[in-house]
Amino acid sequence: MSIFRAFLSQGHRQPLSWKARRIYTLGALLALMCMMVSGGIAGALLSTNGTALAAQLVPPSQSDFGPNVYIFNPSMPQSEIQATVDAVANQQIPNQFGTQRYALLFEPGTYGSSSNPLNFQVGYYTQVEGLGLSPNDVVINGSVDVRNQCFGSNNCIALDNFWRSLSNLSINVTTPNAGCYSGEFWAVSQAAPMRRVHVNGYTTLMDYCSGPSYASGGFIADSQFDGNVVNGSQQQFFVRNSKLNGWSNGVWNQVFSGVIGAPAQCFPAQSSCGGPYTTLATSPVTREAPYLYMDANQHYNVFVPSVQRDSSGTTWASGAASGSSIALNKFFVARPTDSVETINDAVRSGQNLILTPGVYHLDQSIQVTRPDTIVLGLGFPTLIPDNGTAAMTVASAKGVSISGMIFDAGATNSQVLLQVGDGHARSDHDASDPTALHDVFFRIGGAQSGKATTSLVVNSDNVILDDIWAWRADHGNGVGWTDNTADTGVIVNGDNVTAYGLFVEHYQKYEVIWNGNGGTDIFFQNEMPYDPPSQAAWMEAPGVDGWAAFKVGNQVTSFNGYGMGSYSFFNQGVDIYAAHAFEVPTTLPAGSLHDLLTIFLSTSGSGGILHVVNDAGGSSTSANPDTPVTIVSYP
């Protein structure tokens, strides 16, 4: 713990020149991976080219989820389970922009023991999930970890630990002989949700065992921690409807909504209460993500939780959660080889949809037209529209759920990647049965060349956005100001839309446009684009430098925001400024916005943000790097 104590002694503030060093050599990582998995059982489980795993452990007669879904049960030899999860991890930990996708599913029961624990790591595009109805139905004595990735000497960080998840199980933290890695390590960044997890023991969201240990996450919901949680270097983090037994510290923007045991409100950070913490006693309206489970007869079902209002704590604290089950035979289980026409025919005929792991190249839009349709991703299925269409459209129908997938822009520009509602018959989305998007992620460039004008458009009313990361890539393939073009990450036109955990980064104009009335955003994390080539190339209007990160439309009369941060860093060697981070009507009711901040990320950059919201608030520029500039309440 000496490294962590040293970190705390520095007042939670670290120089962030790392933001300029997020492009790494994939070749070196692949070489490292080959060394890691050569020989032994884990090596044997990999194919000769190191890109695919052996056939699924469960016979096809038991499951039809495809070869990249591994289903474990307690009767299997633990050595076999250990070898398999290690082989997946060794392949996927360095595989940031690869095409491999995996789901590791655990049937109800207990895995590992105090003397022989099950400890393993989770890499990119890997979903780890229990198949019980309650998270206490699957117990792992051990740990399920995400650690730093190391890129040379003293450059071990968690900044790019994206696209992985942990859900619906319990962990009795058991890490004998682990040395520094004693505990449950979940050092993640964006797009790495933890849901419905019960951790009995010490948890850290920072990997302090190798330096400099920077982290930039993350999202937790419907979870319980019986031991202390170390936030450590996590510059921002969002926790919703959970139970904590202790939280160590804040850095820039730690937000808690409906969390029992959360730190008290304390923004900005101050010696009397720690912080910075934005704390809401309850969440206004929530609907937890649907999930796959196995019943007592070993039949698969999908559980769809009910909507909650003004809620706190987990859905399962007092027994079975409220909701309904749908049998697996009510789902079309799609694979990447299925045509869009086949998928759409199944959905139109009344089937729900499970997308199994893989990359889906689409020649037309997947169309969700029926109320209460469930679209559930396993193992981070990735949808790429090849012809410039939307990847998916959702009709103006109530109760639709989209969860657990990546929308990846294709080489031909799409006007939108996911559209929810067509703007007509918006009253069909009634508040009693809201449509919800859970763990839905967007990517423009990075894996391959991609372009999309807008990533997500929400036209319908009463929609819940629950963990969204919209990312115009700042590193990887096809990245550049004129290469991975993208105007806006999220546009909300519907009324009474509620967002929890909204992460939107690097878009080239307004990153979020919120036009609907009665909206609420609880937690917002943004980085402005790094790469405008000149001020003239990045102007909202004549005389208005840059583009605001979050624009609330001039016609909006009611909107509430809590814990909203926008960061800047410009790396083209010239001064680039944004006049405002947030632009909102001055006619909003007093105190509509709570706990806003801006930060300039690096001493090596140029320019910055001149005002926090409208013309209020000071500047965060290269003159005051790594220093939060805050507004507690506006207007």
Mean pLDDT of 321-345: 97
Residue 189 and residue 159: Cα distance in Å, rounded? 6
Q: Quick one: pLDDT band at residue 397, thresholds 50, 70, 90?
A: confident
pLDDT of residue 217: 87
Q: What is the CA radius of gyration of the chain?
A: 23
Q: Which residue in the block uniquely carries the two structure tokens 């605001």? A: 548
Check if 107 is active-site: no
Residue 355 has pLDDT above 90, yes or no: yes
Q: Which of 505, 527, 540, 583 is the catalytic position?
A: 527
Identical fold, 69-287 and 332-527: yes
pLDDT of residue 428: 53
Mean pLDDT of 620-631: 95
Give per-residue pLDDT as tens, 462-513: 999 999 999 999 999 999 999 999 999 999 999 999 999 999 999 999 999 9
Residue 15 has pLDDT above 70, yes or no: no
Q: Which residues contact 232 (CB under 8 A, 6 or more apart)?
A: 4, 7, 204, 205, 206, 208, 213, 215, 248, 249
Q: Give how far the C-alpha of residue 496 lies from the chain's centroid of Cα atoms, to the nearest Å.
A: 22
pLDDT of residue 63: 63
Residue 167 and residue 193: Cα distance in Å, rounded? 8
Decide yes or no: CATH 1.10.10.60 for domain 332-527: no
Give per-residue pLDDT as tens, 280-291: 999 999 999 999
Residue 454 has pLDDT above 70, yes or no: yes
Residue 100 and residue 560: Cα distance in Å, rounded? 40
**Does residue 499 sit in helix, strand or coil?**
strand
- Give 141's strand partners: 172
Residue 19 has pLDDT above 50, yes or no: no
The DSSP H or E segment spanning 342 is helix 340-348
Residue 278 and residue 166: Cα distance in Å, rounded? 25
Residue 393 has pLDDT above 90, yes or no: yes
Residue 329 is classified by DSSP as: G
Residue 326 has pLDDT above 50, yes or no: yes
Mean pLDDT of 421-442: 82
pLDDT of residue 44: 37
Residue 563 and residue 17: Cα distance in Å, rounded? 24
Q: Give how far the C-alpha of residue 332 lies from the chain's centroid of Cα atoms, to the nearest Å.
A: 26
Residue 261 has pLDDT above 50, yes or no: yes
Q: Quick one: pLDDT band at residue 604, thresholds 50, 70, 90?
A: confident
CATH number belonging to the domain at 69-287, selected among 2.60.40.1120, 3.10.450.40, 3.40.50.620, 2.160.20.10: 2.160.20.10
Q: Quick one: pLDDT band at residue 22, thresholds 50, 70, 90?
A: very low
The DSSP H or E segment spanning 327 is strand 323-327
Range with the poorest average pLDDT among 37-46, 368-377, 402-411: 37-46
Residue 33 has pLDDT above 60, yes or no: no
Give per-residue pLDDT as tens, 189-244: 999 999 999 999 999 999 999 999 999 989 999 999 999 999 999 999 999 999 99
φ/ψ of residue 80, rounded to 5: -70, -45
Q: What is the mean pLDDT of the chain?
A: 90
Residue 12 has pLDDT above 70, yes or no: no
Q: What percent of the chain lies above the pLDDT cut of 70?
A: 89
Angle at 48 between CA 42 and CA 53, to 5 degrees: 50
For residues 25 and 248, the model is more confident at 248
Give per-residue pLDDT as tens, 511-521: 999 999 999 99
pLDDT of residue 53: 52
- The two structure tokens encoding residue 121: 């790591």
pLDDT of residue 153: 83
Domain boundaries, the chain: 69-287, 332-527, 544-560+576-634
**Stated pTM of the model:** 0.92
Residue 183 and residue 435: Cα distance in Å, rounded? 37
Neighbours of 363 (CB within 10 A): 11
Residue 301 and residue 168: Cα distance in Å, rounded? 14
Q: Which residue in the block uniquely carries the two structure tokens 């950070």? A: 269
The DSSP H or E segment spanning 92 is helix 78-92
Q: Which residues contact 288 (CB under 8 A, 6 or more apart)?
A: 195, 196, 221, 222, 241, 305, 315, 321, 438
For β-strands 69-72 and 544-545, DSSP reports them as: unpaired
pLDDT of residue 430: 75
